[in-house]
Amino acid sequence: MEIRERILELKRKKNVIILGHYYQIPEIQDISDYVGDSLALAQQAAQTDKSIILFCGVHFMGETAKILNPDKKVIIPDLNAGCSLADSCPYDEFKKFKDNYPDHIVISYINCSAEIKTLSDIICTSGNALQIVNSLPKDQKIIFAPDKNLGGYINRMTGRNMVLYHGSCEVHDLLTAEYTLKMKQKYPDHLLIAHPECNDAVLQIADYVGSTQGMIKYVKQSSCKKFLVATENGILHKLQADNPDKEFVVVTQKESCACNDCRHMKLNTMEKVLASLEEEKYEINLDEETIINAKRPIEKMLSLSKQLGLIK
C-alpha cells in the first residue's frame, strides 16, 4: 500500500484530523483535512471534535493546538521542526525586555512559543494584526513581539509607536529591496505581493502586502495574470491550484537561491507523517499552568476577531 493510502486509512481508523500549513510540501497539503495560515488553523484546532490532532507545520503550531485542546492528543511529525522567528525570542530575554515597559500591554504574533504566549495580553496573526491593533485606544502603550518587521509595518500603517522586540523570520528577513527591485525590473508586468514578515524596504515597493491567506485571496480576485511572490515557496501549490491560468515567480535573496524554503517547515515528509500516525508521535505536552496562561491571550484574539468580523 502506498504511503498516501496508508496515511488516509490510519487517519480514518484513529479519528485524526490533519492540519497542514500552506508552507508544507504539496503532498502533505493534499492529504490534510484543512490547509490554512496561522489564524485559520488556530480556529480549526479550537473547533475540532477529532480524538487526535496531527499538526503538519512547526512546533509552536502544535503547542497552540494543544493549548486550545488540552484534553486531546496533539502530535507533530518532527520535533525538530521549529521556527526561526519563535527561536529569536527566548523566554528569559523577552521577560527582561517586557519588564522595561511595565505600563505596556503585550501583543504577540502567534509565531512564538507557548512560554512567550504566557507573557502576552493578546495574540495576533499576520491576517488580523492590523485590525486588532486598530481596535485598541490610540493612547494604549503596546509592546509588539517577536517580529520587528510585522510590528514595523503595523506602526507605519496605523501611525502607532509600538515598542518592537527584535525578532525576525530568517526566510523573509533575507529578502532585500535591492534584489527585489532587480526582479521587478526583470518582470515589469508582474505585481509584487509580499508577506509583512519581510523587511520594510521590501514592503515599501510591494503592490500588495498581506498574510498568506490574504495573498491567496488577492491573487484569486485580481485581473492581473502575473505575480512576483515574496514569501515561502509552499504558497505556490495553493496559488497554482486556484489560478491555473496565472504565472508566479518567487522573489529570492539572489539568483539561483533556494532561500525561500523554510528549513523547519520542510523537515516534515510523507514518511514522517505516516510514522507519526502509526506510533502517535511526537506528542506535544504542556503543563496545566502554561496552558491556562497561554490560552487567555489566544482566546482574546479569537474573541476580538469575531467582534471585528474576521472570523465567524
The domain segmentation of the chain, as residue ranges, is 3-81+265-286, 85-168+294-307, 171-250
- How far, in Å, CA of 234 to CA of 81, rounded? 15
Question: With contact defined as beta carbons under 8 Å apart, do 49 and 71 qualify?
Answer: no
- d(CA 93, CA 120) in angstroms, rounded, equals 14
Contact call for residues 117 and 289 (beta carbons, < 8 A): no
Mean pLDDT by 10 residues, the chain (312 residues): 93 96 95 88 87 95 93 95 94 98 97 97 95 97 98 97 96 90 95 96 96 95 97 94 96 70 91 97 97 96 91 78
Q: For residue range 210-230, what is the model confidence (pLDDT) as tens digits?
A: 999 999 999 999 999 999 999
CB distance 308 to 108 below 8 Å: no
State pLDDT tens for residues 152-186.
999 999 999 999 999 999 989 889 999 999 999 99
Q: State whether CATH 3.80.10.10 applies to domain 171-250.
A: no
Q: How far apart are CA 236 and CA 147, in angstroms?
A: 23
85-168+294-307 against 171-250: fold identical: yes
- What strand order describes the sheet that includes 208-209? 208-209, 191-194, 226-230, 247-250
Q: What pLDDT score does 219 carry?
A: 98
Q: Please tell me the predicted confidence (pLDDT) of residue 252.
A: 85
**Which DSSP helix (H) or strand (E) runs through 249?**
strand 247-250
Tell me how far apart the terminal alpha carbons of the chain are, to the nearest angstrom. Answer: 40
φ, ψ of residue 303 to 5 degrees: the values are -65, -45
Q: For residues 187 and 275, what is the distance between their CA atoms, to the nearest angstrom?
A: 43
Helices 38-47 and 59-68 sit at what angle, rounded to 10 degrees?
A: 40
pLDDT at 258: 57
The pTM is what? 0.93
**HSE-CB for 183 with a 13 A CA cutoff:** 27
85-168+294-307 adopts what CATH topology? Answer: Rossmann fold (3.40.50)
CA pair distance 203, 201, nearest whole angstrom: 6
CA 193 to chain centre: 16
Q: What is the structure's pLDDT at 257? A: 58
Q: Does domain 3-81+265-286 have CATH number 3.40.50.280?
A: no
pLDDT of 37 reads 83
